[in-house]
Amino acid sequence: MKAAICYEFGKPLVVEAVEIDPPQAGEVKVRIAATAIFHSDIHFLKGDWGGKPPVVAGHEAAGVVEEVGEGATPVKKGDHVVVSLLRACGRCFYCKRGSSYLCDGEYALNTESRLCSKQGVTIRHGLRTAAFAEYAIVDQSQVVKIPGEMPLDRAALLGCGVITGFGAVVNTAQVEPNQSVVVIGVGGVGLNAVQGAASAGAYPIIAIDLFDNKLTAAQAFGATHTINAARQEFPEEAVKDLTSGRGSEYVFVTVGSAIAVAQGFKMICREGTVIIIGIPEIEKTVSLPVAQFVMNLTGGPRRIMGSFMGSTQLSVDVPRLVELYQQDKLKLDELITRRYPLEQINEAIESVEKGEALRNVIIFS
């Protein structure tokens, strides 16, 4: 099969033929139809999160089941599926308590690979998925069956960006009607946080970004107000003006920026919550005004939460989101800026890095 391989972090990917082994016990081989370009992939391919090349990235995908390994029962050959990096063993502490998105089970693919170059060099599965390729082998828990009529390029977006943004609002924070929400960064994840806030009945929903085109998109996705942080010197003051001087009850930071997290601290009300979604470089930190988060000085008690993958239960949340899409209650078509063949993946990545795209999607013939 063809795959886009990272041989050196920070360098263009190389599209070439690789060998792929059959799926082993509990694994599924998927013929990939579409894989979206996600900022997490870009961070990974720059080496921001460690790891070692050669590796195939890509983790937001959809396709058709080609083959199932021994004991892989949730899907069968020919099923249309969403592919995600989320795994669930069903046995560990977190799975048993209903937090399968935090699963710490053991998987063969943590230490093994089903990919190698024509020269016999082992190629790692990046971000647990390796979906920048014509086929991917993943654990059976990483795929969710979807209706055959669901367009696979739109279904691919449900593998990460949609569930991460929408789920952060609905699952992690559990925002209620008429609670105020700020979303910092309205790219693919941020727009879905806006969608989640609109679905929850939040008000106001304030979108913050540096690009007017993304703010315009945020309004289409449900934002009631927008702030261009490139032109607003003190966006936290603008947020307070829009929330009767109090600050917002929730601030979702969807960009991988410690600076944005620090700004979020300044935007919440006295009992407000900052939810961190975007993941910056591993070494990045932010100072925490501890007293303000505990005592009623200039505010408090305030809260900070992390949200990993929108606290998503794949088998529950993906079918629900598909239904919302089919009922015209979830925007997916509008998230896709452009579609590219695998051979143009470096061009697609560059476009995302420049802020030109909400989502670029690699389409496999």
- Determine the structural domain holding residue 104 and report its residue range: 2-159+332-363
**Do 40 and 88 have their domain in common?**
yes
How far, in Å, CA of 306 to CA of 171, rounded?
12
Chain centre to alpha carbon of residue 359 = 11
pLDDT at 345: 98
**Kindly report the CA angle at 349 between 1 and 22, in degrees rounded to 5?**
20
**Do 169 and 303 have their domain in common?**
yes
pLDDT at 191: 97
Mean pLDDT across the stretch 323-343?
A: 97
**For the chain, what is the domain count?**
2
pLDDT at 297: 52
Query: Could you tell me where the beta strands, DSSP code E, fall in 21-147?
Result: 27-36, 55-56, 61-68, 80-83, 115-117, 122-125, 135-139, 143-145
**Do 124 and 53 have their domain in common?**
yes
- Its pTM stands at 0.94
**Do 236 and 139 have their domain in common?**
no
* Pairwise pLDDT comparison (288 vs 363), residue with the higher score: 363
Mean pLDDT score of the chain? 94
Q: Report CA dihedral (21, 157, 35, 56) to the nearest 10 degrees.
A: -60
H/E run at residue 2: strand 2-5
DSSP 3-state of 127: helix
DSSP 3-state of 46: helix
Structural domain includes residue 223: yes
Residues 6+ apart with CB under 8 A from 313: 98, 100, 101
**Do 187 and 153 have their domain in common?**
no
Structural domain includes residue 219: yes
**Do 181 and 51 have their domain in common?**
no
pLDDT at 295: 66
pLDDT at 290: 76
pLDDT at 101: 95
Q: Residue 321's pLDDT band (boundaries 50, 70, 90)?
A: very high
pLDDT at 14: 98
Mean pLDDT across the stretch 326-350?
A: 97
pLDDT at 299: 54
pLDDT at 97: 94
Measured N-to-C along each axis, helices 212-221 and 188-200 cross at an angle, to the nearest 10 degrees, of 30
**Do 242 and 143 have their domain in common?**
no
Gyration radius of the chain over CA positions: 20
**Do 11 and 153 have their domain in common?**
yes
Quickly list DSSP for 136-196.
EEEEGGGEEE--TTS-HHHHGGGGTHHHHHHHIIIIII---TT--EEEE--SHHHHHHHHH
pLDDT at 300: 59
**Do 7 and 155 have their domain in common?**
yes
**Do 246 and 143 have their domain in common?**
no
Mean pLDDT across the stretch 111-135?
A: 96
Position 320 pLDDT exceeds 90: yes
CATH number at residue 283: 3.40.50.720
**Do 108 and 214 have their domain in common?**
no
Q: Residue 298's pLDDT band (boundaries 50, 70, 90)?
A: low
How far, in Å, CA of 43 to CA of 267, rounded?
27
Name all contacts of 46-49 with Cβ < 8 Å and 24+ positions apart: 46/9, 46/10, 47/9, 47/10, 48/280, 48/281, 48/282, 49/279, 49/281, 49/282
Structural domain includes residue 66: yes
pLDDT at 311: 97
Mean pLDDT across the stretch 344-351?
A: 97
Q: How does pLDDT run across 237-296, given as a tens digit for each residue?
A: 999 999 999 999 999 999 988 999 999 999 999 889 999 999 877 788 888 777 766 765
Structural domain includes residue 327: no
How far, in Å, CA of 66 to CA of 284, rounded?
41
CATH number at residue 120: 3.90.180.10
pLDDT at 280: 79
**Kindly report the CA angle at 296 between 237 and 224, in degrees rounded to 5?**
30
CB atoms within 10 A of CB 61: 35
Residues 6+ apart with CB under 8 A from 223: 183, 186, 194, 205, 206, 207, 215
111, two tokens: 């230490």
Q: How does pLDDT run across 55-91, given as a tens digit for each residue?
A: 999 999 999 999 999 999 899 999 999 999 999 999 9
Q: Residue 102's pLDDT band (boundaries 50, 70, 90)?
A: very high
Mean pLDDT across the stretch 203-224?
A: 96
**Do 98 and 155 have their domain in common?**
yes
